[in-house]
Structures are given as C-alpha cells and as structure tokens.
A and B are shown apart, each in its own frame.
Chain A
C-alpha cells in the first residue's frame, strides 16, 4: 500500500469549508456562519480509489498576511508541514475576493486544486463561469462543486489524487506585478538565494513577503530589513514613483490580476438586482427597526427556551421520580443493604436526574442560538452592537462570543480567536463567563420555581440581564486599567443570509447536547457519588448527615456566605461542587435535600426528584434565594472553562486571575443584593 495523501483545506470564512469537509468525511461537525467558526484544527480520513486521504481543515481566512492567529496557523501549516495538495475552496458567488486568497496560496508554490463551491448560488445570480478557462488562466485545476448537495465531490477527489500523484501538473501563472516591482522581486531573490533559513519557502513568494515587510517572515529567515540594503531603494521607487507603499501596490496588483482573469472567464449580468439577502437586511438591520428587532429576537430566544423547554421538563421529572421509586422498591424487595439502596436512589438517580431534567431547556437554547448563527444573523448582531460595544472599549465582534456564552462559556472563549487585538481578546475572555451559560439555567429554574412561583420568567430574565451588566462593567474596568490601548478596528464581512438546514443546525445542537449529557454521565455522576459519600460518612464511619464529612466541610466555609444570606452548609457544599460543573449545584442539592427524607419515600409526591418540598423549608427566603442565584451566576467558572482560559491565554496566571476575581465580584454583588434588598424590606 502506498503512503497516504495529505490535503489541506483552505478558504475564506463562509465559503462552505465545513460543509465540504463533512461532505468528504461524513463526519459529524458543526456548520457555522459567522466569520471564523472553524477555529479548531479538524482532521478527517477517507478512502478514495483505494487511496488513503488525510484531510486537514485549516482555519477560514481571507488572506495569509500574519495579522491574525488563524492566518498564521494556516500559513505555517502549509509551509511547514507541506501537504501534498492544498485544496482551496472558493465561493463562486463571491469569486473576486475569494480568489485573492487563491493567488496567495498559489504563490506559496505547493500544488493547489480549486474547488469552486456554491455553483448553485452563482447560477442563481446569473453568473456564467467558464471553469476550463478559469483553470487555464490560474494555472491550477478548477472543479465546480455544490458542497451542500454533495455534487461534484467524486470529480474533485479524482482531480486531487491525480495532482497528488503528479498526473496533472500545475503550472501556476504568476501575478504580473509591473516592471518596477518585478525588478525588486528579482533583486530580492538574488539576496535571499543563499539564506539558509529560506530553503523551505518558494523564493518568489519569500521575496514578496520581504518586500511587504512581513514581520513574521523576516523573523523566521532572520533577515534584518535595513541590512538587506533594499530598504532605501524600495522607498524611492515606491513612495515617489508609485505614490503608494510597496505593500499596497502588491495587493492592488493581485486584485488587478484577478479582475483580468474574471473578465475573461466569467460573464455577469449587466445590472445586478437586489439580492434576497440585501432585501432581508433592509428590514432586519434597518436604521429604526434594527434594534427593536434584535431585542425582540433575544426575548424570543429565551421565551422559546423556557416555555417550550418547560413542557418537557415535567415529563422527564416525572420519569426520574418514578424510576427512583421503582428502583428503590425493587431493591428493597431484593433485600439489598440500605446504604446501597440509598446510594443508587438518592445518590445516583436523583443526582443525574436533577441534571438531565434540564436537557430540553438546554437543547432549545442551543437550537435558538444555532439558528441565529447559521442563518448569518450573528454577524449582523456585531454590526448593530458595535457602537455600543465600543463604549466599553470592545469591538462589535466581541459581542458574538459573549452571546455564545449564553450557551456555554467553553466554545465562547474559543470563539474569541476571531478578535485580532490581543487586549480585546483577553478582555472578552475574562468577561464572557459572566454571561449566564446553559448549565446555570437549571439552578435558576429550580430556585425561581420554588421561591418565585408565577414570576419565574421575570426572575430568570433579570439574572441574564445582571450577567450582561456585570460583564459590561468588568470590560470597562479592564479596558481602563489592565489593557489600556488604542481603539481596535472593526472591518468585517456581512455574509449573505442562508437558510439554516435541519441537518447542519441539528448536528450543531446535537453535539452540544451530547456534551451536556456526557457531562451528566461523567462529571456530575462522580460529583453525585462524592457528595453522597461525603454526606453519609464521617471519620468514624457511617453517620447521620448533619455529622458527616460533607456537612463539616460545608460548615467550615459557610461563614463566608453568612453576610450573603445563605451561610448554611448545604448551600456551601453545593457551591463547592459547582466548581466541577455548574449543574452540579443542582445535582448536589438534589442529593443533599433528597437524603433528608426517608429512603424510597422521597419520590412519592412526584416532586422534582423528590427534594423540592425539603428545599422549600430549608431556610432560604425569597431574598436569600435570589442572592444565591446571583452568586451562582457570577462566581468562579467551572473547571472546563478555567482549563480553556488557560489554553487560550496560554497562561495559568489569567486562568487563576479569572477564578479569583469572579469569586470576589460574585461575593460583592450578592452581598449588595442581600443587604440592600434587606434594607428595602424584601
């Protein structure tokens, strides 16, 4: 067997990269629609005509200039790991700008195959594309595909294999940069020829990068521009003769080259009518309607989550209650030891049940966010919110990860990679966990349901708003203190609206819900077991709950929370387990208050796994319950988030910092709520 072939998938954001990747591999991957969802390195293996093909999905980028993390990642991969074929996916309906990246990829000197995607969209727009001509002019194979309908995939794979095996040779046509620049390129190549660090690069490309003063490249090849003795000559030619700097000239010439190719290979209708997307935008981001529509959509997202989610909630609730009862009864009948019976019913079933009950709510939240994302509306949110976000010192783009934070902070923190400015990114990472994630929802639903019957909606909505407010204030503070700096630019594509597909969005949602359920099966399962154990034993063996290890641990830390109104060991212990995962607060409470009742009888009255009535009489007042919810909203993020912050900032210091400062913020805000609320007579 021959060795496997590696292809790198490169393309602009929203060109259909994820869709093509999935069409190749059938892999279950999410499809996003705002610039740069594909931030992780994804790999897939397929077999075609008995050849093993390894597909690496590079981050979606507009260019290979080194100004964002993703561009550097993509460029380095192609240069350093030298894939057999670079598969460049090009959006046929937006071909001019897409080909800009293509010219850069071709210049890198590796074999390139172009997959001309979205042929259906281009056709609808009335663009007639002559693929053969295009291929001739670019000097690389061009294969038309419709990734969303899996059309042209086989032909594409055939072409890739032939290129990889050298059966089709690529003779890329060079961009003509004009006389002055071409002379410079030649001179520079002469100088670079003997550079020992230059061997892995295509020399013409390298020369261009040197002329563009690409800092990353200059550092890699250890060249000091001033010592190159080109600098002065460049300045003379560029500024005076060309009236622009060399870098801009190079870019302009690339676009001229593209325009020439397009005029020869593509026929466009003379007058382009208003596209559907533009028509939709006329309403959705209208000067006057834009904001109200945005607010209404947000309200609908939460309404959707609660109302529809709650229909299922009772159902699952009841099932777990019944299951606990049934298992308890049969265990008793089988004569199992009472402690084992209690472990299974009160520890495992009620702990996991307490978390799984909220799966419908979480699923609907993710569906709603998924639709907004896949339709292209998220980018509009950045557009609408930029001005407001700038007040806080952030760019509108930072709003998107923050909005995703309503789902889960982990992908949200990862989503900050699209922010080019480091200080912008750090600030967003540090404030995103204040956005109330899906895992905190069960806590609110439980507490609001018990202590604020009939007013759950308002209470939960107020918590989400509080989260946003705190995030905004924190961002403002960071921007004024730790990360003082210039305003960050806001230059972003508004991709055309697309109908979210059931398959695409469905996969998206399923992946996240699966993650949540898995967490229930692992982390929460373990947390429930530990809690059960801590509550059933002390150093001298089996004990009553108030004398158990768990109660003792809770009692040690409880005084911290006394000023906040919930200085009891039960709440304290639940909060500690919440550090593993926020849902664990609920599962722990289920175990703590569930255990308080006699074994087996817990579920009889059909309450939420049988502990609600106990929670009602647990000493929480409306005010302290609200303070408790505020605290859970704001306090130290769960370990998964801390880990991702560590990874994304590459520093334990930031991870540690976020743990501590969030705790302090939560404590102070909950204190204010409880004390001021008390003074006001609540």
Chain B
C-alpha cells in the first residue's frame, strides 16, 4: 500500500482514501485532502519533517505521521 509519505519530492499521485479519524481527518478533508485529489510533493523541511505538498492549487504542509495515513492509488 503506497502512502503519501512514500512519495519523494517532485513526485505526484492521486489520493485513494484518508485513513484517520476525528479532528485530524476533518482538518485534512477541510483542507482539500479528499479521495481522487491530485497531490504533488514539493519538498521536505530542513529537519526532515514535515513535508510540503501542492494540492488544489495551493501549498499545504503536514507531518510525515499524517502523510502516512493518506493512502494513494
């Protein structure tokens, strides 16, 4: 199973499902992290975490621990 965390910078993919619950899930969804959305990984922070992605035309940052819960197609 490939997750968003497995994508390297400059790679992109499509979201299959977001596997968390509660507020984190809600926040992710509100920010446009929903099934079928195209995500492009911009970069990794200087200290190795979090990551920056481009989604729905804007830049979003999230931690690897959160990216791990986002399953890609």
Contact = CB atoms under 8 A, between A and B. Distances in A.
A binds B: yes
Given A67-B27, A97-B58, A387-B50, A487 B65 contact: yes
Interface stretch (A3-11, A244-252, A298-306, A448-456): A244-252
Contact of B24 (A277, A383, A491): A491
A274 to B, nearest CB: 10
Contacts of B49: 386-387, 390
B14 interface: no
Interface stretch (A282-290, A560-568, A576-584, A601-609): A282-290
Contact of B63 (A290, A386, A420): A386
Contacts of B37: 255
A439 B27 CA distance: 37
A67 B23 contact: yes
Given A65-B26, A285-B45, A285-B46, A491 B59 contact: no
Interface string A203-246: 00000000000000000000000000000000000000001100
Contacts of B60: 491-494
Contact of A490 (B26, B57, B61): B61
Interface string B20-64: 000111111111101111000011111111101000111111110
Most buried by A among B28, B30, B32: B30
A456 B34 CA distance: 54
Most buried by B among A244, A247, A387: A387
Interface residues of A, number: 43
A281 to B, nearest CB: 8
Given A63-B30, A67-B27, A248-B35, A489 B46 contact: no
B7 interface: no
Given A285-B46, A384-B45, A489 B30 contact: no
Nearest to A98: B58
A260 to B, nearest CB: 13
A244 B61 contact: no
Contact of A248 (B34, B47, B50, B65): B34
Given A248-B25, A252-B36, A285-B46, A493 B30 contact: no
Contacts of B46: 285-288, 290-291, 384
A623 to B, nearest CB: 37
Chain B contact residues: over half helix, strand or loop, or mixed? mixed
A278 B32 contact: no
B59 A493 contact: yes
Interface in A458-492: 487, 489-492
Contacts of A490: 50, 61-63, 66
A287 B46 CA distance: 4
A244 B23 CA distance: 16
Contacts of A493: 31, 58-61
B65 to A, nearest CB: 7
Nearest to B36: A252
B29 to A, nearest CB: 4
B4 interface: no
A497 B13 CA distance: 26
Interface string A246-277: 01100110010000000000000000000001
Given A67-B26, A251-B34, A489 B17 contact: no
A489 B63 contact: yes
A287 B44 contact: yes
A396 interface: yes
A556 interface: no
Contacts of A291: 46-47
B72 interface: no
A494 B52 contact: yes
Given A96-B56, A97-B56, A255-B37, A491 B42 contact: no
A221 B69 CA distance: 33
Contacts of B57: 94-97
B66 A489 contact: yes
Contacts of A65: 26, 30
Nearest to A65: B26
Contacts of A62: 30-31
B31 A97 contact: yes
A100 interface: yes
Given A248-B29, A388-B47, A420-B23, A494 B56 contact: no
A419 to B, nearest CB: 13
A536 B3 CA distance: 74
Contacts of B26: 65, 67, 247
A490 B52 CA distance: 11
A243 B71 CA distance: 14
A288 B66 CA distance: 23
B45 A97 contact: no
Contacts of A290: 45-46
B58 A491 contact: no
Given A97-B56, A248-B18, A384-B47, A489 B31 contact: no
Contacts of B23: 67, 420, 489
A382 to B, nearest CB: 8
Contacts of A495: 59
A388 B23 CA distance: 23
A288 B43 CA distance: 12
B33 to A, nearest CB: 8
A285 B62 CA distance: 15
A286 to B, nearest CB: 7
Given A251-B30, A386-B50, A491 B44 contact: no
A386 B10 CA distance: 22
Given A96-B56, A420-B23, A490-B66, A387 B48 contact: yes
B43 A285 contact: yes
Most buried by A among B28, B37, B50, B52: B50
A387 B45 CA distance: 9
A205 B40 CA distance: 33
22 contacts: A96-B56, A97-B56, A100-B30, A100-B32, A244-B17, A247-B26, A252-B29, A252-B35, A255-B32, A287-B45, A382-B61, A384-B47, A420-B23, A420-B27, A487-B65, A489-B23, A489-B63, A491-B24, A491-B31, A491-B62, A492-B61, A494-B61
Given A384-B46, A387-B50, 5 more contacts: A251-B30, A251-B34, A285-B43, A387-B47, A493-B61
8 smallest CB-CB distances across A and B, nearest first, come from: A387-B47, A290-B46, A63-B30, A494-B59, A251-B29, A96-B56, A489-B24, A252-B34
